[in-house]
Amino acid sequence: MATSFLNQISEPTLLLNEQIAKANIQRMAQKAQRAGVRLRPHFKTHQSWQVGEWFKEAGTTAITVSSVKMAQYFARHGWQDITVAFPLNRRQLPQIQELAQQITLHLVITSADDVVFLREHLQHPVHLWIKVDTGYGRTGIKAEDTATLDAVLQELKQPSAHRFQGFLAHAGHSYKARGQEQIAAVHQQTLDKMRSLKERYLGDWPHLQLSIGDTPCCSVMEDFSGIDEIRPGNYVFYDLTQHQIGSCQLQDIAVALACPIVALHPDRNEVILYGGSVHFSKDVLPLPEGNIFGLVVPLTEKGWGESLPNTAVVSLSQEHGIVRTTPKLMHHFQQGGLVGVLPVHSCLTADVARSYLTLTGEWLEHLSGVVL
């Protein structure tokens, strides 16, 4: 294991397989092209300008982010068409004003009052999307609530510097799906509700567009007819949650947290890692045999191998991770050595890791480690 990138690791470090990530990026770009939809990938998973360059190589010109701060970061690195797919935060009006002067900025609104506020307080033009709830139940106007939607659209007809783009939805309830049939049901529900909105309002808004985006549906489904734009994000790295849903194969997961082995307990078939909740987050993957916080993979000169059978991170405290394995597999663990762990949720693991180490030994930044 005396390779250059492994020799750089002394504490929990998020490894990034560039080859796998680029393959994931390219595969989604090709799907969008086949489906005839605009791909506006969500950058909340990787939050790295260097990883963002890989999307440019695949033809991406417009992106999605989940915060104004993230929009500022990627605008500084040359992205000129950005959607902040998060409800309007009025307390960030100064930052929004500044961004609107620099780039083509898209904002999400959830009420007629948002329209009034932006018309009265935001001088520089932006593109507005009405957030629609197609079944997730987190936020947005329910697709069936046409009375509220009518009121918002009536307000949008008033003279303003801002342009109404269309309806935007995130079918986050696809994360509760298991298998293609359940994913397909969520996807069809989203398509039906969004298409009905377009049919209802297209007469008054002939240029109205529909934007949807979640990694399970965008990874598995092929039919996006009637949709103008998709915004998946997690697909760049994938993770164990996406694998359990059915969005990807284990070999599509592009990140693994490299953790030092600090103690061995062969009497109970357990290994203690330097890698706890402050490195993984507390996201858990429920399995029939119990909850796990990651699958263990051996690290190799080329990255990592297949996950070890009957071996997983079964408990996390702040800095500790407890791996439970079998007597036959204890020889894979040596005190002072390293193992990799495939994360349950790559977005949160990347956020707390604050940077990436590629398999060629290059360090890539993450927004959480950058002072703006």
Measured CA to CA, the distance from residue 334 to residue 287 in angstroms comes to: 27
Residue whose structure tokens are 């935001």: 122
Q: What is the mean pLDDT of the chain?
A: 97
Q: Which CATH class is domain 19-239?
A: alpha beta
Residue 3 has pLDDT above 60, yes or no: no
Measured CA to CA, the distance from residue 21 to residue 356 in angstroms comes to: 13
- Reported as a single tens digit per residue, the pLDDT across 17-46 is 999 999 999 999 999 999 999 999 999 999
CA angle in degrees (0–180, nearest 5) for 368-90-81: 60
Maximum CA pair distance of the chain? 74
How confident is residue 4, by pLDDT bands cut at 50, 70 and 90?
confident
Q: Is 174 left (phi over 0), alpha (psi -120 to 50) or beta?
A: alpha
Among 186, 178, 303, 191, residue whose Cα is nearest residue 253: 303
How confident is residue 371, by pLDDT bands cut at 50, 70 and 90?
confident
Measured CA to CA, the distance from residue 286 to residue 292 in angstroms comes to: 7
Measured CA to CA, the distance from residue 38 to residue 62 in angstroms comes to: 9
Q: What are phi and psi of 325, to 5 degrees?
A: -135, -160
- Contact between 75 and 55 under an 8 Å Cβ cutoff? The reply is no
Q: How many residues does the chain have?
A: 372
At the second CATH level, the architecture of 4-14+254-369 is Beta Barrel (2.40)
Residue 232: exposure state from Cβ atoms within 10 A (0-12, 13-18, ≥19): buried
Q: Is 54 left (phi over 0), alpha (psi -120 to 50) or beta?
A: alpha
Listing DSSP states for 225-282 in one string gives TT--EE---GGGT--HHHHHHTS--GGG--EEEEEEEEEEEGGGTEEEEE--HHHH-S
- Reported as a single tens digit per residue, the pLDDT across 60-98 is 999 999 999 999 999 999 999 999 999 999 999 999 999
Separation in Å, CA 97 to CA 55, 107, 257: 27, 12, 38
| Eight-state DSSP code of residue 153 | H
Q: Which two tokens stand for residue 257?
A: 């947290």
Domain residue extents for the chain:
4-14+254-369, 19-239
- Reported as a single tens digit per residue, the pLDDT across 279-315 is 999 999 999 989 999 999 999 989 999 999 999 999 9
How confident is residue 1, by pLDDT bands cut at 50, 70 and 90?
very low
Sort strands 209-212 and 255-265 into parallel, antiparallel or unpaired.
unpaired
149 Cβ partners below 8 Å, 6+ apart? 130, 132, 141, 197, 201
